[in-house]
Structure 1
Amino acid sequence: MPSAPTTSSPPRDEPLAAVRRQSGARAVYDLLRARIIDGTLAADARLTEPVLSSQLGVSRTPVREALRLLQAEALVVEQPTGGVRVAPLAVTDLHRVYDVRARLEGLLARDACERARPADVQHLARLVDLMDAVRDHEDEVLRIGAQFHGEIESLADNRWCSELLRQIRGHVDRYRSLSARERVGTTDHVDEHRAVARAIASGDPDAAERSMREHIERSAAMAAKALGEAPPPPPG
């Protein structure tokens, strides 16, 4: 069977080997979801059960179930003619997703500020310092940034916000990787995270929420730039 360029093999064989060992829908879902988020499976790439089944070395049943889960998460969309494609990356969707994210994570930062202890504040500061040390490495910046946001979410202990964020996490992560690429080699990402950490350390919930929302709005602007949107004109 001819190979399809839109479903190319991953750069490492460990995830693929795991899928073949488990042969379950969840393993297939996890692998395909990761490929969609990191861009290995490009926006609008066509996905078919026979090709994926052949490439992953599993039957069509777990592939079908995995695609159903991805469709429920809106990471793939069904085509009128049958089959599915990876959901497109669109500036309009980006702004909507990030507006929701800014509101939710702003609330989490507010709650975290009210609950943070000195040890928590120190831990956030250390994460920012570590991010500064690796700011030229996109993958590490993304990893530490996700850890920073996860620590704030844990501190906030707001299960409703956490659940709503979980529902849009895949979409956030797709656009987040675009934003990170625009920031590589700059200190912007570090400066914004440091501002959030300092606002939480100050014990001012309003400042913590504002700093978080400004950080996420800046990330949205960077991702939109990566998608070709012109930056807004300077004020005045």
Structure 2
Amino acid sequence: MAIERRPLREQIRDELMLRLGRGDFAADTDINEAALAGELGVSRTPLREALITLAGEGVLQSNQGRGFRFAPVSRQEFRELCDIVAALEALALRRSDPAYLERAAPQLLRLAEEFTADVAERQHIEHHDDEWHDLLLGGCTNERLLDLITSVKAGMRRYTHLLSGETTLMERAAEEHRRIAERLMAGDLEGAAEALRDNWVNGMERMISQLP
């Protein structure tokens, strides 16, 4: 793992989330801290700090002094997380600067049109979707609300590798993004917020259909 100029525990946390998102770790399995520290080329102290952070985000479970394990996949948990993010993002959109949304809407529409099956095949689904939603909410100045959204989304990362690149599913997601952008371009903030909520609800159902 390459070392960057920021706290090592944060780098380790991000690296573990990256690996989890691409399916390198199985849900509901124990973590061998010594082996993982050796694999990452770090000491166990920053690794444990990163694991504690991930446990606080709901990604891991602490085994009461016996170490950590990856949290099991749960349809109920995923539904709950999606419901929370849908409500929070819709609120953040409603609290956004109207002038910012007017400027961002054309770019949001362009990015939505790029969200194709080709993107999925290149395994950039998560990055592209994050980029789009970050741009959408870039006009919200409520930092606590944005931090809360980021925290809840962290708990969803272990589900992302279950999303396939099936063409029909990607076309539906792209269409939902286009609908949100078009509502913003029409000056219909409430319609955009409702379309954003629908995007999360529909995405949840698409993901749940692929859970074991």
What TM-score comes out, normalization by structure 1 length? Answer: 0.79
1:78 corresponds to 2:62: yes
Cα offset for 1:206?
Answer: 1.6
Residues 45-72 of structure 1: CA distance to partner in whole angstroms, max 9, x if unpaired?
A: 2112211122222222222222122222
Equivalence for 1:150: 134
Query: How far has the Cα of 1:128 moved from its partner?
Result: 1.1
- Cα distance in 1 for partners of 2:96, 2:7 equals 40
Q: Give the aligned partner of residue 178 of structure 2.
A: 194
Q: Secondary structure at the match of 2:204?
A: helix
Identical positions, percent: 26
Partners of 1:48 and 1:177 lie apart in 2 by 22
Structure 1 residue 135: Cα displacement: 4.7
Please tell me whether Structure 1 or Structure 2 has the larger radius of gyration of its CA atoms.
Answer: 1
Residue 203 of structure 1 corresponds to 187
1:19-48 superposed Cα distances (whole Å, 9 cap, x missing partner): 599993333222122222332112112112
- Distance 1:39-1:54 versus aligned 2 partners, 3 A rule: same
Secondary structure of 1:77's partner?
A: strand
Q: Offset of 1:137 from its aligned partner? A: 2.3
Q: How does 1:32-111 map to 2 (within 5 A)?
A: 32-80=16-64, 82-111=66-95
Name the aligned partner's letter for residue 51 of structure 1: A
Q: Give the gaps of 5 or more residues in structure 2.
A: none
Name stretches of at least 5 consecutive residues in structure 1 with no aligned partner: 1-15, 229-236
Aligned to 2:158: 174
The CA RMSD over aligned residues, in Å, is 2.5
> Which structure's relative contact order is higher, taking Cα pairs within 8 Å and 6+ residues apart?
2
| TM-score for both structures, normalised by structure 2 | 0.87
The within-5 A match list for 1:110-149 is 110-112=94-96, 114-116=98-100, 118-132=102-116, 134-137=118-121, 139-149=123-133
Say if 2:57 and 2:151, in contact at 8 Å, map to a contact too: yes
Residue 28 to residue 44, structure 1, CA distance change in 2 (3 Å): same
Structure 1 runs of 4+ with >4 Å offset: 19-23
Relative distance call for 1:217 and 1:122 in structure 2 (3 A) is same
* Distance in 2 (alpha carbons) for counterparts of 1:175 and 1:106: 22
Residue in structure 2 matched with residue 7 of structure 1 by the alignment: none
Do the aligned partners of 2:17 and 2:158 also contact (CA within 8 Å) in 1?
A: no
Q: Distance in 1 between matches of 2:14 and 2:119?
A: 28
Kindly provide the CA deviation profile for residues 60-114 of structure 1, in whole angstroms up to 9, marking residues without a partner as x. Answer: 2222222122222221101257111011110110011011001011122333483
